[in-house]
Amino acid sequence: MNNIDSNNTDKCLEGPCIINNATKNTFAVIEFLESKIETSMFLLGNISQHGFKLGVHSNSGNFKSIKRNGKVIGVFCLSRRGSLLIQTDNKNDYSKEIFDSTLQENISLKGILGNWKDSWLFYSFYKAMNPNFELNLCSEEILFSLKLEGQKLSRNLSESISIRFLTSEDYAVWDKVNRDYLEEEGLSIQKDNQEREVSFTEKTQKKEWWGLFEKGELTSICAYNSTYKNVGQIGGVYTVPAKRKKGYAKLCMKQLISDSYSIHKFSKLFLFTGKKNIAAQKLYKSLGFAEIGNFGILLGKHK
């Protein structure tokens, strides 16, 4: 494989190579990612919101594609925050070429996200090249999918329970619950306080955070962590420890599913959870989600 400039795409005809500027073949890039949408939601969502080039937003980055015989067989992006998002055809290991290309970005790697095979292959190569890079989270997640077909919202709420979209006024109570969630999951807070509030407000304006309140206290939360066209990807599902085993997460998720169909007009939902999180797996299956594959989340830092 050869690392070449996007202006010389004709040189790709003899074998795989890296296209440094994916803006030269945006249609083919989107077409490829849409064909593997179940593990490409972060890539597609970032393109939809921030475009193909590195900008001021922490999720923006320079998108690059891998082509063989004129056909896109992989797409990746190192975001400003240091997350490497990868999707390939899984037929070869493109880690060296991706590694060589990301060196041009001058951004420190902090995480790798994508289908499990791509993520693990790249981490293994990167670790060999950078022995001081240490993981603080390595999770092979189970990927689930739900086709939305007008599922009816069936629930019995007591007078003390309410479920609704969160608003910007809920930031303070959400911030505490979300920080507890991140700590429990072993995830770092990658934004400062101002960025967190701006991001939260933007998502609430788009009706992408839900909350269950018990006697006025925020108890369960769930959200979209990425959206693209008529598809949503769910994340941040959490119930405060003292209120667990009461079915609150399921009630909150039922509201999200109903609103996804009736308000957001989505046709499909994806989510993923850890292999060892049996309780979450049972919850999602009880809501009609089907297991479809695996997703990789590898987060770390250079010592």
Tens of pLDDT along 82-136?
999 999 999 999 999 999 999 999 999 999 999 999 999 999 999 999 999 999 9
Same domain, 64 and 156: no
- Cβ(255)–Cβ(153) below 8 Å: yes
**Predicted confidence (pLDDT) per residue in 2-30, tens digit:** 443 434 444 444 565 677 688 888 999 99
The pLDDT score that the predictor gives to residue 223 is 98
Domain endpoint, select from 102, 131, 160: 131
Distance from C-alpha of 48 to C-alpha of 68, rounded to nearest angstrom: 25
Same domain, 12 and 126: yes
254: alpha, beta or left? (left if phi > 0; alpha if psi -120 to 50): alpha
Query: Which range of residues forms the domain containing residue 47?
Result: 2-131
Same domain, 79 and 159: no
Same domain, 269 and 171: yes
The pLDDT score that the predictor gives to residue 83 is 97
Same domain, 33 and 86: yes
Q: What CATH number has the domain bearing residue 111?
A: 3.40.630
- Burial environment of residue 242 by CB neighbours within 10 A (0 to 12, 13 to 18, 19 or more): exposed
The pLDDT score that the predictor gives to residue 156 is 66
Task: Specify the number of domains making up the chain.
Answer: 2
Which residues of the chain fall short of a pLDDT of 50? Answer: 1-13
- Cβ(143)–Cβ(270) below 8 Å: yes
Residue 137 lies in a domain: no
The pLDDT score that the predictor gives to residue 21 is 80
The pLDDT score that the predictor gives to residue 23 is 85
The pLDDT score that the predictor gives to residue 96 is 93
- Burial environment of residue 192 by CB neighbours within 10 A (0 to 12, 13 to 18, 19 or more): exposed
Residue 300 lies in a domain: no
The pLDDT score that the predictor gives to residue 256 is 97
Same domain, 76 and 164: no
C-alpha separations of 211 from 19, 31, 167 in Å: 43, 35, 10
Same domain, 164 and 123: no
Residue 301 lies in a domain: no
The pLDDT score that the predictor gives to residue 191 is 72
Domain endpoint, select from 103, 131, 159: 131
The pLDDT score that the predictor gives to residue 9 is 41
Same domain, 155 and 273: yes
Residue 9 lies in a domain: yes
Same domain, 235 and 202: yes
